[in-house]
Amino acid sequence: MGDQKRRLILIAGIPGTGKTTLGEFARHHGFVHLGLEDPCLFKHLLHDSSKFIDDMLDKNVGDVVVTWGFVPSDVGTGIVKEFIAKGFKLVWFDGNRDAAFRAYIDRATYLFNLQVGRIGDSTFIDPLKPVRVNSFDENGKFKPPAVILEEIEKG
């Protein structure tokens, strides 16, 4: 994997909690950001996830943040475990579900409900032992990305 000092972060979690926003913030601060919502990247990930991760790490020698709003399932959980085995810190975004829904409403209500339903089944998430981050403040507003990135690095 190369330099052990580089930061490798996989951000997953509830839809509408700011995963992609944080990934883009991190990109502006020196990270490579890969959003697995990109259908082309996702297709390659599903085809051979271990090769996808190895190729990505070989191609990107610095800090990497990957964002993925995966629907918890046996396949998705297996892929997350591969990221963890390759040295990624798993960060789980959660928080005010009403605020997340409002942030997500223009995209896909069905997907939100499916993901939240599966996420409610802790047999998928808890065994992965993620760093949990609430991306909302006490008023249901997004925390500033710099504050969230600081929480991730402390976690």
pLDDT in tens, 55-86: 999 998 899 999 988 777 788 889 999 999 99
Q: Phi and psi at residue 10, in whole multiples of 5°?
A: -115, 115
Q: How confident is the model at residue 54 (pLDDT cuts 50, 70, 90)?
A: very high
Q: Does domain 8-149 have CATH number 3.40.50.720?
A: no
Residue 78 to residues 72, 83, 144: CA-CA distances in angstroms?
10, 9, 31
Kindly report the CA angle at 109 between 106 and 114, in degrees rounded to 5?
145
**pLDDT-based confidence at 24, cuts 50/70/90?**
very high
Q: What is the mean pLDDT of residues 29-46?
A: 89
- Assessment of whether the complete model's pTM goes beyond 0.85: no
| 28: CB partners within 8 A, 6+ apart | none
Beta bridge partners of 136: 142
DSSP-derived letter for residue 121 is: S
pLDDT at residue 67, rounded to an integer: 93
User: Residue 3 has what pLDDT?
Assistant: 46
Task: Please state, in angstroms and rounded to a whole number, the distance separating the CA atoms of residues 114 and 150.
Answer: 30
pLDDT at 76: 85
- Domain ranges (residues) in the chain: 8-149
Task: Tell me the average pLDDT of the chain.
Answer: 84
Terminal C-alpha separation, the chain? 22
The mean pLDDT value for 116-129 works out to 72
Asked if residue 118 has pLDDT above 80, the reply is: no
The mean pLDDT of 103-118, rounded to a whole number, is 66
pLDDT given for residue 130 in this prediction: 86
* Per-residue confidence band for 110, with pLDDT thresholds at 50, 70 and 90: low
